Amino acid sequence: MAFIDSAPDVSIHYEELGEGFPVVFVHGWAMSGRVWAFQGELAERFRLVMPDLRGHGKSTAPETGYAFADFAADLVALFDRLGIRRGALVGWSLGVQVALEAYPALAERLAALVLVGGTPKFTASEEWPFGLPATEARGLALRLRRGYDRTMGEFFRGMFAEGELTREANQRIAHEIVIPRLLPDPRAVAATLDTLAGGDHRAMLGEIRTPTLVIHGERDAICPPGAGRFLAERIAGARLALFEGAGHAPFLSDPSRFNRLVGEFLGEVPLRD
């Protein structure tokens, strides 16, 4: 069990697997680094680093400090403390926006970006049709207050499209991801949901010059596929991989294809200056 101190009274827990070129995986809202368990085969070629965001997993849950800037500062601190001078960053869902927030500070140290099931703006607006209505975020917050455990379970199940998971895949996810996981701090979950609802990283996409792979499920009901297409279109040179029939977490429902794509992508980009 490893931790780094990222701020006063904030310790970030992370797990490491493998050796070589470092690849840092940033999980989504209300999850933890445990969600990347199926990516372990990549440790045969890379050094995998899987942190828990503050308020999630085994990391500290401060009373305040759940803005994107706070999550990004923790990520930068992780790179600093682990001495990562050149690495790749894989973000999923909330982790995509955390990666985008941290990008200006980490750009010189990044050889590659992989953005999975993400969006630059979670909430829909008149000029942004690729988000969820603001009423859905407010409704989710209300349901969390009324029944935290039940709502978290419903949200997790909603990440997958109907018929996406075989019985065997569902059982594997339950035994390796769901059952061992620690539910995040309820205050942190609520505060981070507010952050998600108000975030907007569209304006900075044109500044990204790092080789980028966007992976998105074609049936993603949490971050609509149009958001993934937008990321790929606005980031110079980005390539887009759509997973047919997949929902919000293709790295869980089809880990073999996901791992192959990520491994091939990292094999093509210059991993050293």
Catalytic residue list: 93, 220, 248
> Which residues, in sequence order, are CB contacts of 51 under 8 Å at separation 6+?
12, 13, 14, 24, 25, 26, 33, 59, 74, 75, 78
Q: Is the Cβ–Cβ distance between 26 and 95 less than 8 Å?
A: yes
Strands 2-7 and 10-17: antiparallel
d(CA 38, CA 88): 18
Chain centroid, CA 221 distance in Å: 16
| Residue 117 token pair | 């099931």
| Residue 170 token pair | 């569902």
Classify residue 230 by burial, with Cβ atoms within 10 Å: 0-12, 13-18, 19+: buried
Most distant pair of Cα atoms in the chain: their distance: 51
d(CA 30, CA 33): 11
CA atoms within 13 A on the CB side of 261: 22
What residues does 206 pair with on adjacent strands? Answer: none
